[in-house]
C-alpha cells in the first residue's frame, strides 16, 4: 500500500491533521521523526519540517527516497498580499510556487534569473514551480461541491525574509500577482520535483502581509482551518487524478 504525505512547517499546523487520523503512532524514517496514521484505508504520514526553505528541503529530501508517497500535500498558514482579495481565515490553493529570494539582485521585487538552471530539466523560469494540475483541479472540484463556490487559487510566493512593510508587500503582490506569502512552499515543490512526486499546497490566511501587529494575526484559526481542509482532501480525493513526473 502506497502512502500519502502531509508536510507542515510547525507542529501546531500538523496537530489538527494528526487529531483527525486513526491509529496514529510516532515513527522514525531515515532519522527523521514522522507521524503515521490512517484516513479511512489510506496510510498517511505527517512530516513537520520546521520553518523555512532549508528545513523543508533537508527533511523532505531525507525521507522521500524511502517513503516514495503517491503525493504530497503542503498545508499550513500564510499571509495575504494587499490586493489579493482574500480575507482572514480563507482557504487558498496554490496554482504555483515562486521562490522570491533566489536570483540576481534587481531594481524590482523579483530577482533577475540566474544564468544557469537550478536543476536540470527544471521549470522554465528558475525558482517557479507549478502545482500538480490533477491534484489542484481535483481539490478545487471537491471544495466547490462542499462549499458551493470555487475556492481562491493562484500564485504563492515563498520568501526567506518575512515581508514586514506594507510598501514592500504591495510591491511584491503587484509585480508577482501573488496571493499568499509563505516560507516553505517553493522548497517543497523543488524537492518533490527532484524525486518526481506530485505535490500541491493548501493554506489558510493568518495575517495580512506587511503587518507585524499582533492584533492583525490569527494563527490558531488558520492552523485549524488548514488542518481541517487537509483532512477533507485526504479522505475524499479520488485515486489516479495526479500526474506523476519522471525523476529529474
Q: Tell me the per-residue pLDDT of 60-105, one tens digit each, with 9 for 90 and over.
A: 999 999 999 999 999 999 999 999 999 999 999 999 999 998 888 8
Q: Where residue 240 falls among pLDDT bands split at 50, 70, 90?
A: low
Q: Which is higher by pLDDT, 82 or 244? A: 82
pLDDT score of 9 more than 90: yes
- Tracing cell 501573488 back to the chain, one arrives at 178
Closest CA to 9 of 161, 201, 221, 212: 201
pLDDT at 127: 85
- Mean pLDDT value of segment 212-218: 95
Task: Give the tens place of pLDDT for each residue, 28-47.
Answer: 999 999 999 999 999 999 99
Q: Which set of grid coordinates corresponds to residue 142? A: 471537491
Q: Which residues contact 35 (CB under 8 A, 6 or more apart)?
A: 14, 18, 21, 24, 25, 26, 27, 45, 46
Task: Give the tens place of pLDDT for each residue, 120-175.
Answer: 655 567 788 999 999 999 999 999 999 999 999 999 999 999 999 999 999 999 99
CATH of 3-236, one of 3.40.50.1580, 3.40.605.10, 2.70.98.90, 3.40.50.1100: 3.40.50.1580
Query: Mapped to the 3 state alphabet, what secondary structure does the chain carry?
Result: CCEEEEEECCHHHHHHHHHCCEEEEEEEECCEEEEEEEECCEEEEEEECCCCHHHHHHHHHHHHHHHCCCCEEEEEEEEECCCCCCCCCCEEEEEEEEECCCCECCCCCCCECCCCCCCCCCCCCCCEEECCHHHHHHHHHHHHHHHCCCCCEEEEEECCCCCCCHHHHHHHHHHHCCCEEECCHHHHHHHHHHHCCCEEEEEEEEEECCCCCHHHCCHHHHHHHHHHHHHHHHHHCCCCCCCCCCCC
pLDDT at 113: 79
Q: 247 burial class (0-12, 13-18, 19+ CB within 10 angstroms)?
A: exposed
Phi-psi region of 94 (alpha: psi -120 to 50; beta: other; left: phi over 0): beta
pLDDT score of 241 more than 60: yes
Average pLDDT, the chain: 93
High-pLDDT (> 90) share of the chain, %? 83
Tell me how far apart the alpha carbons of residues 203 and 218 are, in angstroms, rounded to a whole number.
13
Q: Where residue 248 falls among pLDDT bands split at 50, 70, 90?
A: very low
Tell me how far apart the alpha carbons of residues 140 and 127 are, in angstroms, rounded to a whole number.
24
Residue 82 CB neighbours (<10 A) = 17
pLDDT score of 234 more than 90: yes
Tell me how far apart the alpha carbons of residues 240 and 134 are, in angstroms, rounded to a whole number.
9
pLDDT at 104: 87
pLDDT at 182: 98
Closest CA to 81 of 159, 170, 160: 170
Q: Where residue 246 falls among pLDDT bands split at 50, 70, 90?
A: very low
High-pLDDT (> 70) share of the chain, %? 93
Q: Where residue 238 falls among pLDDT bands split at 50, 70, 90?
A: confident
State whether the Cα torsion 185-190-192-198 is positive or negative: positive
pLDDT score of 247 more than 70: no
Amino acid at each position: 500500500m502506497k502512502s500519502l504525505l502531509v508536510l507542515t512547517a510547525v507542529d501546531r499546523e500538523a496537530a489538527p491533521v494528526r487529531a483527525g487520523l486513526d491509529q496514529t503512532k510516532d515513527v522514525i524514517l531515515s532519522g527523521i521523526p514522522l507521524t503515521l496514521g490512517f484516513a479511512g484505508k489510506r496510510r498517511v504520514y505527517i512530516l513537520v519540517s520546521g520553518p523555512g526553505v532549508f528545513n523543508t528541503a533537508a527533511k523532505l529530501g531525507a525521507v522521500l527516497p524511502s517513503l516514495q508517497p503517491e503525493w504530497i500535500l503542503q498545508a499550513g498558514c500564510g499571509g495575504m498580499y494587499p490586493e489579493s482579495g482574500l480575507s482572514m481565515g480563507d482557504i487558498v490553493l496554490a496554482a504555483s510556487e515562486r521562490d522570491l529570494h533566489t536570483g540576481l539582485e534587481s531594481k524590482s521585487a523579483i530577482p533577475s534569473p540566474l544564468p544557469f538552471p537550478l536543476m536540470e530539466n527544471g521549470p522554465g523560469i528558475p525558482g517557479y514551480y507549478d502545482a500538480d494540475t490533477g491534484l489542484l483541479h481535483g481539490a478545487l472540484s471537491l471544495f466547490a461541491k462542499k462549499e458551493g463556490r470555487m475556492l481562491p487559487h493562484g500564485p504563492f510566493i515563498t520568501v526567506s525574509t518575512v515581508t514586514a512593510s506594507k510598501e514592500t508587500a504591495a510591491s511584491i503582490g503587484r509585480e508577482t500577482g501573488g496571493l499568499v506569502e509563505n516560507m516553505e512552499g517553493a522548497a517543497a515543490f523543488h524537492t518533490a520535483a527532484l524525486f518526481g512526486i506530485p505535490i500541491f499546497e493548501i493554506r489558510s490566511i493568518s495575517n495580512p502581509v506587511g503587518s507585524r501587529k499582533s492584533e492583525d494575526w490569527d494563527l490558531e484559526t488558520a492552523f485549524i482551518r488548514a488542518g481541517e481542509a487537509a483532512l477533507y482532501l485526504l479522505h475524499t480525493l479520488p485515486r489516479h487524478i495526479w500526474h506523476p513526473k519522471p525523476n529529474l
